Amino acid sequence: MLGKDRALELLEQAIRASRAEATEVVIEGEDRQVTRFAGSAIHQNMAETNAKVIVRAVLGKRIGYASTNRLDGTGIRETVDRATRLASLQAEDPQFRSLPGPRPVPEIRTFFPATAGSTPEQRADAVGRVVARLGRHGCQASGALSANVNELAVGNSLGIRLYQPLTSAQLVVVASDGDASGYAEWESRDISGLDVEAVAERAGGKCGASRNPITLEPGDYPVLLEPAAVGDMLQTLAYVGLSATSLQEQRSFLAGKIGQPVASPAVSLWDDGRDEHTLAMPFDYEGVPKEKVVFIEQGVARGVVYDSYTAGKEGRQSTGHALPPPNVWGPYPLNLVLAPGEASLEQMTRATERGILVTTFHYTNVLNPRETSFTGMTRHGTFLVESGRVSRPIRNLRFTDTIVGTLSRVEAVGDRQELASGVLCPALKVSSFSFTS
């Protein structure tokens, strides 16, 4: 790690060296470690360390970007000069207003020594426990256990000077035995909260219950979507329609719908980078503090996220959702939260006469962003529900539906949230979901 003092020193050095009218500097550092396993054996232990400096130079309404992983004085100066030269060659962007100025940033704990101190031996021991637990189910173990240390520093010529160290850890387990498989995941900034046996048991239990699947005819069925499937679906929704860019370009499902019902009253969805149950982060890649932004409140459309560029188009303030520069995607919600309900997954299952239980989705793709139509496959545990109980495993099915339509057909929301695909979300019971093959 560079550390706070060194990172802020590099920011100052780059800003002082700039001849541009306005300058922004982003420094990202990463120490990444991952232990991968397949066939119930570790096949790779990888460690990677890197750091880069990204400069945005502004000349009037012309903007240039340059980056480097050279952190010496010469590398910094050359990168700043290159960004300035590139800005001088660009066409003016009449919709650009300004870099953001400093605002108060809340203190959030994002660094945990247990994660930063994770060793290959500790991860190997954890993988060994996963293999042993899955062996009891007669399943092979595949997946990965990672422990990362990141740091982000952001500064600009308008006075922003920010630094944040971050840790993150993730365990993904796939249990397999022939045509049977099961899946479980865990993610947090603090690896000390990882219950290895519990994650492995979930995957192994799914695998054991998935043996000898039957073939079910495609059609519309009630579904129970576990958090991994819900998180995948909501990340897709964020990609196609929860940013100011998609709304301003009239390709968001929210276009013309703000203040109107777009989902079941049981659905409330927001983004909150200050929520430490998510992978919290107090500010974005422009140094703007993250605000809580509500997208859907009890089924009613409320808003989208902004960065400084999209906010400037509307004469408003950024909500703190800028991505790393240069950013062609616009703002993005990185800390999605779906509000919990009052029903357990068991209660939702008992209330289902005939339907399908889905563990997770695979290879999800968008068909029509404005309509939020998407397609993909079920994976790692798909089961038939009959007379209020999980009765038999079924072969994976392809689905084709709309995300907004699915959210509008939500009948019940689970009472327990999990961090899945980066989204803090519960399970959902949906009255109808279209399986096409």
Contact partners, residue 428, CB within 8 Å, separation at least 6: 224, 225, 230, 410, 412, 413, 414
Instruction: Tell me how crowded residue 161 is: count the other CB atoms within 10 A of its CB.
Output: 16
What domains, with CATH codes, occur in the chain?
4-204 (3.30.2290.10), 213-437 (no CATH)
Tell me the chain's radius of gyration from C-alpha atoms: 23
Contact 419/187 with Cβ under 8 angstroms? Answer: yes
User: 178-227 pLDDT, tens per residue?
Assistant: 999 999 999 999 999 999 999 999 999 999 999 999 999 999 999 999 99
- What residue ranges of the chain have pLDDT lower than 50? none
CB neighbours of 40 closer than 8 A, spacing ≥ 6? 131, 134, 135, 140, 141
The CA-atom distances, in angstroms, between 310 and each of 59, 221, 249, 321 are 19, 40, 11, 10
CB–CB of 203/175 below 8 Å? yes
pLDDT for the residue 173: 98
Tell me the pLDDT tens digit for each residue of 74-110: 999 999 999 999 999 999 999 999 999 999 999 999 9
Nearest partner of 318 among 271, 286, 276, judged by Cα: 286
| pLDDT for position 167 | 98
Please count the CA atoms within 13 angstroms of the CA of 38 that sit on its side-chain side: 4
H/E element holding 202?
helix 196-209
What pLDDT does residue 1 have? Answer: 86
Distance CA 226, CA 425 (A): 9
The predicted structure's pLDDT at residue 328 = 87
Residues 11, 162: contact at Cβ < 8 Å?
Answer: no
- CB burial of 320-338 (b: ≥16 within 10 Å; e: otherwise) equals bbbbebebeebbbbbbbbb
pLDDT of residue 426: 98
Q: Are strands 41-59 and 22-38 parallel, antiparallel or unpaired?
A: antiparallel
Q: Which amino acid is at 34?
A: V
Bridge partners, residue 422, by sequence: none
Q: Pairing mode, if any, of strands 410-413 and 428-435?
A: antiparallel
- pLDDT, residue 168, reads 98
Contacts of 250 (CB under 8 A, 6+ apart): none
Per-residue model confidence (pLDDT) at position 158: 98
